[in-house]
Structure 1
Amino acid sequence: MAENLTIPLPGRTIAAQAWGPIDGPLVLLLHGFPDSPHTWRHLGPRLAERGWRAIAPANRGYAPTGPAPDGNYELAALVRDVLDIQDALAAPGARAPRRALLIGHDWGSMIASGAASLAPDRFHAAILLAVPPLPVLLARAWPPRRLARHARTWLRQAPRSWYMLAAQAPLERVPALSHRFINEIWARWAPAYEYDADLAAAHRALPDAAHCRAALGYYRALWNPLRWRTSRAPERHGIYREHRVPILYLHGERDTCVRADLGASTPDHLPPASKARVVKGLGHFLHLEEPDRVNGAILRFVDGLPGGELDRAGQASQ
């Protein structure tokens, strides 16, 4: 059974679930939208069995974590949360944070990708589910000539991104929108999966208008430069750099949220010891639809990392 933690960070706190020995090598499990740490209930215990200390934070704005005190939900701020969590979990008197393994799904994939790009010396590797690495997305969108070159791919994706437009609705409509919106998202993204328990957990994570505004704030900040904070400028640029740590990218063939072909060029952007794979027969919540299959692929990748066996990872985390 998972432990419930409260992790104090500068000016805020983060709630989390945890599995495994407190002194084990660290792995951070990052959830997406509209989801919760409950999404890692299959993988967390598997990692704990191997001696890892698995921490699944409730992202800022997802209960029991509160809305961000500064109202900032841009990606650079979410990446900073990951680095601050690492710092908070460092051993007393340690001169550096514990190196960690990153695993993320959906928004968690974007956060993990950004953290691995910004601070590669902090991480063994990053495992990204259902959203391509940030450098891949950037290469398809910037500069504008690349956006034009890949316009057909983005146009095919556009109908699946309808929810991003819904997230721009006036904030006063959020209470009426939220419950139906969350239900609709899960119905569309998990059509072949019995998701009742996960939907209930998502509603617990977004129980009121304040938390729903926070979750929608991720999308508002993503597309609106007016919401970007000047103080985050260095981090904002750093999170899109090409990766230097090994990456495992898994995408469900039947993903009804993000088209698998959006990440078709991923192998061209990955460093040595990385892998990219489209998983046949699975959708957006691939880690829930067939957890044994997907978690097995994750664990095999970790075991095959250069110097990434459990005993060496444990030594590196000290």
Structure 2
Amino acid sequence: MTANGLEFGYLAAGPEDGPLALCLHGFPDSAHTWRHLLPELAAAGYRAVAPFMRGYAPTAVPADGAYQSGALAADANALHEAFGGGPDAVLVGHDWGAFAVYGAAAHAPGRWRKAVTLAVPPIAAMMGAFFDYEQLRRSFYIFLFQTPLAELAVNRAFVERLWADWSPGYDAAEDVDHVMACLSMPENLAAAIGYYRTMLDPSRLVARYAAEQAAGERTGERPVLYLHGADDGCLGVAAADPDAVLAQLPAGSRAEIVEGAGHFLQLERPDAVNARVLDWLKD
């Protein structure tokens, strides 16, 4: 599927004439992260689509090298158009996919009815906790990724350890297989790291996505369900206080901590997460 000038690979389930449910993954992950949610959305009548994010094979590497959250938001809105989505479409995003959801829904609220984000709250809600020593320790990889050593460091063992630290006790072997398939080529690995390099280097921002970038930093109009794992080893639960999160989300939003789950809560506790998502998406 071509959208925003890129050829996207994707997984899909459900009737083609159903409302679009676009599900966006993060790092180090793949569209397969939604393998438990897609069939549930399909059973509820949605056309559930999980694209591989820009730069993650089989999706193309963008020629303009744009990896800012505004570009991800633009991709989401372009995919809405490409899949023939209507105003009844919904968005679901985890990790970097959550950044895309905030920007896409705020920039083009007419395209989306409701949204769900997991594991990354609005930036304003987590800034205080982000500079806590323990959180800085968890976030070492962000700073590693600013260096030329990043491409050498990110091998299978590195990815396995991130998953083990971020979702303690979860068997991530299948998921790591999918990640390594997506990032097996040097250009794909550089793309995934590029998301983080752009995060801390404003010179990498591409001007054409300025509007979507700004939208992601403001409170939108469409209500959001925010879910965070109580045992998240990537972004500690202290950074996702429900009251602080709700203060940065549109009216009518909801924020919940999911017990017994870490960063990849949609995989660790699929029944609990799916139930919350499907209940939230009811009219």
TM-score by length of 1: 0.83
Is the Cα contact below 8 Å between 1:114 and 1:134 reproduced in 2? no
The change in CA–CA distance for 1:126 and 1:151 in structure 2 (over 3 A counts) is closer
Partner of 2:28 in structure 1?
Answer: 34
Partner of 2:41 in structure 1?
Answer: 47
Is 1:283 aligned with 2:272? no
Partner of 2:64 in structure 1?
Answer: 70
Partner of 1:237 in structure 2?
Answer: 214
Give CA deviations for 1:54-91 in whole Å, capped at 9, x if unaligned. Answer: 01000001111121121111111111111111111127
1:104 alignment partner, SS class = strand
Unmatched runs of 5 consecutive residues or more in structure 1: 1-6, 92-96, 141-149, 309-318
Is 1:161 aligned with 2:139? yes
Is the Cα contact below 8 Å between 2:119 and 2:263 reproduced in 1? yes
- Which protein has the larger Cα radius of gyration, Structure 1 or Structure 2? 1
Is the Cα contact below 8 Å between 1:188 and 1:256 reproduced in 2? yes
1:232 alignment partner, SS class = helix
What is the CA–CA distance in structure 2 between the aligned matches of 1:253 and 1:294, rounded to whole Å? 13
Question: Identity over aligned residues, as a percent?
Answer: 41
TM-score by length of 2: 0.93
Partner of 1:249 in structure 2?
Answer: 226
Is the Cα contact below 8 Å between 2:224 and 2:250 reproduced in 1? yes
Equivalenced residues, count? 281
Partner letter of residue 201 of structure 2?
N
1:126 Cα shift?
1.1
What is the CA–CA distance in structure 2 between the aligned matches of 1:152 and 1:102, rounded to whole Å? 26
Is 1:19 aligned with 2:13? yes
Among 261, 274, 280, the residue aligned to 2:253: 274
Structure 1 residues 129-144: aligned runs within 5 Å: 129-137=118-126, 140=127
Give CA deviations for 1:178-235 in whole Å, capped at 9, x if unaligned. Answer: 3333222112112211111111111111112111100000000011011012222222
1:168 Cα shift?
1.6
Q: CA RMSD in A?
A: 1.8
Answer with 151-160 or 119-128: which moved more.
151-160
Partner letter of residue 218 of structure 1?
Y
What is the CA–CA distance in structure 1 between the aligned matches of 2:130 and 2:84, rounded to whole Å? 46
Is the Cα contact below 8 Å between 2:23 and 2:92 reproduced in 1? yes
Structure 1 residues 157-306: aligned runs within 5 Å: 157-170=135-148, 174-175=151-152, 177-264=154-241, 265-303=244-282
1:278 alignment partner, SS class = strand
1:153 Cα shift?
5.1
Partner of 1:126 in structure 2?
Answer: 115
Answer with 12-21 or 267-276: which moved more.
267-276
Unmatched runs of 5 consecutive residues or more in structure 2: none
What is the CA–CA distance in structure 2 between the aligned matches of 1:192 and 1:40, rounded to whole Å? 19
